[in-house]
Structure 1
Amino acid sequence: MHVVILAEFAAASGGAEKVAVESARALAEAGAKVTYLQAISGQVDPLLDHPRLDRLDLGLPDVWSLPAWRGAASGIWNGEAAARLSAALDGLPRAPDCLHLHQWTRALSPAVLPVLLGRGVPVVLTLHDYALACPNGVDYRFDRAEPCALTPLSGACLAAPCDPKSRLHKLVRVGRAASLRLALRQAELDVVHVCDGSRARMEGRLGALRVRHHRIDNPVRVEQGVPAEPAAGDAVVYVGRLTPEKGADLVAEAARSAGLPALFIGAGPLEARLRAEGAEVLGWRSPDAVAAILRDRARAVCAPSRWLETGPLTVYEALAQGIPAVASRRSGAAEKVVDGETGFVVEPEAAALAAAFRALKDDALTARLGRTAFDRYWQAPLTLAAHARSLLALYGRLEREYIMRQCGITRAAADPVPAHPRGATLGKKHF
C-alpha cells in the first residue's frame, strides 16, 4: 500500500505535526510505502529518514509570514497550494492508495480538498482540533474564556467576538470556514478522531457536511523501560504552548497555592508573565530532553486546558513513564487518566488544581499513582506499531469500499475502525 501523508510541517512544533511525522514513520516500519508531503519548508524530523519513506517539499509560505492582505486571501483559498499539490501528486512514480491530511490552516487552505478528493482514492483527515466546524479552530470563546456553545457559522457565531486576535481575523477565519464548506460540497470525507470527546462533540456540529467518523488514538513514542520515581521529583511540570486557553496560568497559580514549584517547558504569550511571577520557564526542548526532564523533575504532569483539547500527548507520555497526570476534565487526555489511581481529573480552575497538587505532596501517594499509571499504560500501550495497525486497517477497509462502489456494489453503513491493537474499540477505557 502507498500512503501519502500531507502536513504543513515536517518537524514537531506541536501535537499535530508530531503525530503526522510519527504516523509516517510507523507506517513505513509496518511495511507500507509512504510519501510525506511537507507544505512549508523548514526543519525535517530525523524520523522521516527511512528506506520506505520519501519526502517532498511543496515550498509554500506560512500565511503568518505574508503581508496581511495576502495572508488573509491565501488562508481563505490558496490556489497556489492546490496547484503545487496537484503537480506533486502527478509526479509520484506510484499512484497513492490513500491520502491522509493532517493540517491545512497555515498554508494549504481548503483549496487542497478538491485536489485530494478528485484523485479517486480514499481521503482521510485527522481532526487534531475543531477547524472542520469552528472558524477559530478550537471551538472556544476567547472573549469569555469558555468552550463555545454556538452553532458554527450561525448568525450568533458570526457576530461573536470570539477570535483570539481580532474581529478582522475572525472575518478571515469565517471566510475560510465558508470556503471549506464549499470545497467539500457533496463529497464524503472520512475523519479520524483522537479522543472520544472530539467525536461526540463534532458529530453534532458539522451541519450538512457528509462525514464518516472513525476513532484512532495518537501514537506515543516511548519505549518501555524502568518506571520513573515521581516521588523524588520536585515540581509540577507543564509542557506546551504558554497560553490562557491551555491553562498555563492556572498551573502557576495553583502551584503557588499548594506550595509546589511549577516548571514550564514551552513558549508563548504568557511566558513573560510567568517569568515575572518567579516561575521556572525552560522554553522549548527536544522530545528526548523533555523525557529526561520529566524523569528528573516531574512529580506530576499537568494539562489544565480550558478549551476542549483533543489529546495532549504529554499526558500519555507521562503515564507511559510512570508519572502521574493532572488533567482538565475538558481535555481528551482525561479519558486516559483514572481519577485517584493514575492521577487526577479536575475542572480547569485554580482551586481544583491546587487541591490535586497538595495531594501530590504525599510521597507515598505520588509513588502509588505513578506505579499504577505505568502498569495500566503498558497493559495496552499506544505504540507506533499499534497506531500503524489501526491506520492500515482503516485504509484497507476504505480502499475495499471504494472498489465496491466503482463496481456498483452498495456498501452497508461503516462501523468505527478498531482503535485498539487487539481489535476492540477503546471507547471509555482508561489506562
Structure 2
Amino acid sequence: MGLLSSKAASLFVAPENRAAFQAQALQREAERFVQQLGELKGAYVKIGQMLALYGEHLLPRPVTDALHTLEANTPPLAWDTVATQLGAGLEGLRIEPQPLAAASLSQVHRASAPRVRRPLCVKIQYPGIADTIEDDFRNVMQMLSLAQWVKSGRQLQDLTKELHTHLMSEVDYARELRVAGKFSRLLKSDARYCVPAYYPKWSSDRVLTMEYLSGVEVTDPAVQGLSQARRNRLAKHMLALFFHEVFDWGLMQTDPNFGNYKIMIDPEGENDRIALLDFGAVQVLDNRFCKALRTTITSAHRRDRQGTIDGLIALRCLRADDSPAVKQSFVSFCEFILEPFSQTADEWPKHAVSDEGNYLWRQSKLLTRAGKRGSDGMLVKGFVVPPPEFMLIVRKLTGVFTFVSTLDARMRCSELLQPYLD
C-alpha cells in the first residue's frame, strides 16, 4: 500500500522532480519490504535471500540491494522448541542444548554417542517450516506482484519454478543425505577435500546427524596468515572443485556462502583441505546443460565466437535470430569472465599482473568489472534475461571467485581448464 500511495503522491510532484521522488519512494518501500521479511523470520528470510541471488534481472535494483541485507544468521530457538523435532530413533545420541549456529531454516548442535569416537553435530529443522513453506513462498511472490515489482510472463514463471525447487530441496533432508553420500564417494580418494560422515540411523526427515569437522572460514586470520603458496593451493582446490562439479559430476553446490566451507589447516603445512559442509542446495545438472556449458566455456576461452554463440543458444541465453549486437554482448561477457584462465599475461590488465607474471585475483577487481559489463550488456536493444540455470552458474562463479580473491591468490590458472580444452 505504501508504494501505491507513493505513486499516487508522485502525480502531484513537478514533472522534473518526479523521477527522483519515485526512486526515493521505491527505496523506502524496498527497505520496508525487507524489514517485514526479517521480522517474519524462518522461510521468509530464506526466500528473500534466494530472491537476492536469482532475481537481479527481474526485480528493481533497489529491491535486490535491500534483499542482500537480510542476515544469514538468525537468533536460535530455545532448546525445548527445537527438541520437539527429534522424535524417536535417536537413542544413545547426546545433544548439547546450546547451538553451534543458527540459520533461517535450521540450527546445528554438537553431539556425541557411545562407541563413536568422532565428534558429531546435529542439524535440526525448525518446527513447522516444511509445512508452511509453500504458503510462505506464495505470499512473498504475491507481495512482489502487488507492488508491481515483477511482471507476469515466461521469465517470472521460470524464476518462480527455480526458486520453489531450490527451497523445497533445502528442507528435504532425505535428499540431502543422498547427495552428501554421492559427494563422499566422489571425493573419497581426493586428499584436497573432506566430506563429513553422515549417520542415517540418527537422521530423519527433520534431523541430520553428521561428523563434526573442525576448521575455520576462509576469512579467519589463521587462513589469511598462511603463506602465499598455501593460499594459492587452497584457491586452486576451490576452482578445481567448481570444474569437477559442472563438467565431471553434474552436481553443483548452488549456495556459495562461505559458511558452507571450512578450511582444515594442516599443522604440518603439507595438506590444507577444504571441508564441504552443506548439501541441501546442491542441484543436479542435466547432461544437455553441462554439455552446452562446456561448449560455451571452452569456445570462449579459445576466442571461438561461433562456438560460444552455439553454446549460449543451447543454454537458452541466446536465440538464433538475436541481433549481432546481443550475441556479441554475451560472447564478450563470457570471454571477459574467463580472463584469469588465459595462458599468457598479455590478456590481463596491467593492475592484475604481479612482477612475477602471476594473476592478482584481489587486485584485479574482476567481479566489479564483470558486473559493470553485465549491466552495460542489458542496455543492448533486444537483450533477453538469461534462464535461471545460467544465472545459477554466474552466481556460483561469483562465489568461487570471491573465495579465491579473499585468499588473495596470486597465480596462473590456465592448467585447471586445460583438461577440458583437450
The two structures have a TM-score, normalised by structure 1, of 0.27
Return the structure number with greater strand share: 1
TM-score normalised over the length of structure 2: 0.27
Which of structures 1 and 2 has the bigger CA Rg? 2
